[in-house]
Amino acid sequence: MIEQLARWSAKGARKRLALAGLLAAAVLVAPLPAAGAAAAPMIVGGRGATEEYPFMVSLRTDQGRHYCGGTLIHPEWVLTAAHCVAHGKEGSTARVGSNDRTLGGTEARVARIVLHPDFTPPPLWAVDIALVRLDRPVPQEPASIAREAGGAGSPVRMLGWGMACESGDECLALPAELRELDSEIVPAGRCAGLDGATELCVEHPAEHVQACVFDSGGPLLQAGPGGWELVGATSRDGDADPRCASGPGIWTNVTAYTDWIGHTVAG
């Protein structure tokens, strides 16, 4: 099935209070989690995308506002984080294959949302993965899902259109251009509340460099023989520090769910 298919956390009340002013002032319609959870993640300390990513997806409200990232894994299917779409986003749109979330690529409507049956919403967090079916096939090339994720020390790249800084008026506007950050998988023990069998702990060696608000659902990539391969979907923070980019982050390990993905897409 892998060949056939050739994607933030509860830091508790302190972080929600720290982000609340930013979110309200920006009038951003992101998938705000339930009580006890923080807002969806951003790439802080990254850089503008250095190449094209035809599988990259911006999930957008029916008003055209970006709320989460995603990864095209099939001409009609996008993989994202379950918490992005848990409250129903049918009727929203997806822009596929453009590094600019405001134009280009292909637009399609969200026709169906499939949450993993074991998804547990915040504050408990488990199996944060979902599939979104588009209303029509798109021409962009889907991402390949890796056979397995690398171990601790393996280099990875994250992508997203989230806020690029943690505080201040300049952080209120999301970047139009896609951002990327090269980081690495670290031992599971670095992340609090992580399931080592189904999740990945990722941390950049520099401080204040990490995914954070509105990067949720976006891809974590590793290099494969034929190019980038999908290994993760942005899920949540990996520590209790109220600052967004202060430590490790947790990604759903997509390679742990290839059977479910294949069954859903085929059905």
The Cα–Cα gap between 208 and 148 comes to: 28
Count Cβ atoms below 10 Å from residue 12 Cβ, excluding itself.
16
Between 8 and 106, the more confident residue is 106
Give me the mean pLDDT over the 81-97 stretch: 92
Per cent of the chain over pLDDT 70 is 74
Asked if residues 49 and 98 have their Cβ atoms less than 8 Å apart, the reply is no
Between 110 and 2, the more confident residue is 110
Tell me the per-residue pLDDT of 93-145, one tens digit each, with 9 for 90 and over.
999 999 999 999 999 999 999 999 999 998 899 999 999 999 999 999 999 99
H or E, element range at 70: strand 66-74
The Cα–Cα gap between 243 and 237 comes to: 10
Task: For each of the domains in the chain, give its residue range(s) and CATH number, in order of start.
Answer: 51-266 (2.40.10.10)
The Cα–Cα gap between 222 and 218 comes to: 14
Active-site residue among 98, 128, 237, 246? Answer: 128
Active-site residue among 66, 74, 83, 204? Answer: 83
Question: Catalytic residue at 9?
Answer: no
Count Cβ atoms below 10 Å from residue 263 Cβ, excluding itself.
10
User: Model-level pTM?
Assistant: 0.82
The Cα–Cα gap between 34 and 83 comes to: 10
Question: Catalytic residue at 216?
Answer: yes
Question: Catalytic residue at 118?
Answer: no
Active-site residue among 58, 216, 235, 246? Answer: 216
Asked if residues 101 and 66 have their Cβ atoms less than 8 Å apart, the reply is yes
Asked if residues 23 and 136 have their Cβ atoms less than 8 Å apart, the reply is no
pLDDT band at 10 (very low <50, low <70, confident <90, very high): very low
Give me the mean pLDDT over the 30-34 stretch: 36
